[in-house]
Amino acid sequence: MSKPHKKHRLTTDARQAHAERVKRRDRRLLIRGGIALAVAIPLAVVGVMQYEKRAAVRYDLSVIGNGQPTVVQVMDHGCSECRKLSDNLSSVRREFDGRVQFRLADRGRTDGAILATRHNAGHVTLLMFDGNGRLRTTLTGIQEPGDIRTAILSSFPGVRVAQ
């Protein structure tokens, strides 16, 4: 009778050793997961804050008339034509970096709706203001990058394309 008991005891000891290894492994995983969360959460918060800060700048229409030419895209969220115009504008924006300001007037926001109404601009529209805030050019509809570039250069004679 002692043999089966001893065999059973060895099996129980092996089970206990395995259970201890599993507990140690699980504890290590929990610690690693906690460390990963402790690093990831602050990074995510900083990323969201930076995104919102950049978004706030893109919608800041108060810069119109601050001495620098400004191109404003009037848009509605969810408008596929507005996204296409925005893509075409983005490809030109880099060429005028630092010489022309680019902003968005969202018709769903109060300031965007006021600006659009004041200038009788529907969505899918570009408004080009000189440094004094005077409207120089209005482009309506989807514009190709070359047409946008030409309109900027003709609206703001002192502005040149970056080399």
- Domain match, 81 and 12 both: no
Task: Check whether residue 66 and residue 54 sit in a common domain.
Answer: no
- Asked if residue 42 and residue 122 are part of one domain, the reply reads no
Task: For the chain, give the DSSP string.
Answer: -HHHHHHHHHHHHHHHHHHHHHHHHHHHHHHHHHHHHHHHHHHHHHHHHHHHHHHHHHT-GGGTTSSS-EEEEEE-TT-HHHHHHHHHHHHHHGGGTTTSEEEEEETTSHHHHHHHHHTT--SSEEEEE-TTS-EEEEEES---HHHHHHHHHHHSTT-----
pTM of the shown model: 0.68
Is 161 domain-assigned? no
Range of the domain at 107: 62-155
User: What's the CATH number where 107 sits?
Assistant: 3.40.30.10
Is 78 in the same domain as 33? no
Q: Count the domains in the chain.
A: 2
For residues 27 and 101, state if they share a domain.
no
Question: Which position has the higher pLDDT, 84 or 34?
Answer: 84
pLDDT in tens, 28-67: 888 887 787 777 777 766 666 666 656 567 899 999 999 9
At 24, the pLDDT band (50, 70, 90 cuts) reads confident
User: Same structural domain for residues 81 and 142?
Assistant: yes
Same domain, 89 and 132: yes
Give tens-digit pLDDT for 89-135.
999 999 998 899 999 999 999 999 999 999 999 989 999 999 999 99
Position 157 pLDDT exceeds 80: yes
Q: Tell me, yes or no, whether 40 and 84 share the same domain.
A: no
